[in-house]
Amino acid sequence: MTLAEDYAALRGAAGARLARRDGLRVTGPDAASYLQGQCSQDVEALSVGDTAEALLLSPQGKLEAYVRVTRTAPDGFLLDVDEGFGGAVLERLQRFRLRVKAELDPVALECLSARGPGAADAVAAVAAEVWAPFSWGPAVGVDLLAPSVDPSAADVRWSGVAAWEALRVEAGIPVMGAELDEQTIAAEAGLLERTVSFTKGCYTGQELVARLDARGNRVARHLRGLVSDAGPGTVPAAADAPAPWPAGTEVVDPAGGKVVGTVTSSAWSPTLGAVALAYLHRSLSPPAAVELRLPGGAAAGAEARPLPLVS
């Protein structure tokens, strides 16, 4: 099993992995109206079985969680989030649950994620509570969610973490704990189009989102992609190859020697070589040459590019 083979399945055929996600069931007669007032997305418009991505924001408009919302019944919803952040979602929703007829019940979930043009057909025989289509740049496929998923009926290549990270970084998909934290503004991470309804009623944190939208979403930094000058010839063969650049690596504008951002995630792309996601100051307009200050004093050249890095 090699990184290139895993990556080829995720891009051109059907690759998959089985992972954990944290879930929260929201049920009761006020479930829809309650979530409508807390989520950035128009969840009341969802039909049973539909899913949508949404944000839970602080009253100041900063991100508290990036979630997926699935309507499981007329008065029931399942929220899922990156593993380890279910507690933050529960705490955030409990904080504003006053005189509301809605129950919040945490649930551990298994998620069979399949990517590639043949992904949906490859997992069609797998039973799951939620079937959520996924499309983000070059990453297309489906996520199957349930407290327990039996993957034995899936006809896929089980791909390693390194290939999944390559696909994620190329697409520019942010995750909780890396690109997304309590200081993140949705416009910085490129999440507005996917997660925000500008036609629904009020929700917690809406003021900042609306104000920035009215001003053209001019924020101080933006999530960008980085591509190493070294090219794809440096990519290791191992499917479990460690990331090329550590999170926190400083990104410098060589024109003036000023630090313009930091790496949040990196991966080995068989197509491009070493790639990364980084928040870069808006003064740096991609494509642009940058320099990475690596541990131990070493430096590496790269180019900052818009996302996604590949089509």
Helix then strand then coil, in percent of the chain rounded to 5, is 25, 40, 40
CA separation for the pair 308, 311 (Å, rounded):
7
User: What pLDDT sits at residue 295?
Assistant: 84
Task: Give the mean pLDDT of the chain.
Answer: 96
At residue 1, the pLDDT reads 73
Using one digit for the tens of pLDDT, what is the confidence trace for 126-177? 999 999 999 999 999 999 999 999 999 999 999 999 999 999 999 999 999 9
Question: How are beta strands 273-281 and 258-269 bridged, if at all?
Answer: antiparallel
Query: Which pLDDT score, from 0 to 100, does residue 299 have?
Result: 92
Q: Which domains does the chain have, with CATH numbers?
A: 3-213 (3.30.1360.120), 221-305 (2.40.30.110)
Map tokens 């036609």 to a residue: 199
Supply the pLDDT for residue 214.
77
Given a cut of 80, whether residue 217 has pLDDT beyond it is no
Say whether 151 sits in a helix, a strand or coil: helix
What is the percent of the chain where pLDDT is above 90?
92
pTM of model > 0.75: yes
- List of E strands, the chain: 15-27, 51-57, 63-73, 76-82, 103-115, 130-136, 139-146, 157-158, 221-228, 250-253, 258-269, 273-281, 288-293, 299-305
CA distance 305 to 122: 33
Lowest mean pLDDT among 24-28, 128-132, 240-244, 277-281: 240-244
Looking at residue 206, its pLDDT comes to 94
The mean pLDDT value for 280-288 works out to 96
pLDDT in tens, 260-275: 999 999 999 999 999 9
Largest CA distance in the chain: 60
Q: In this structure, what token pair is assigned to residue 73?
A: 């019944």
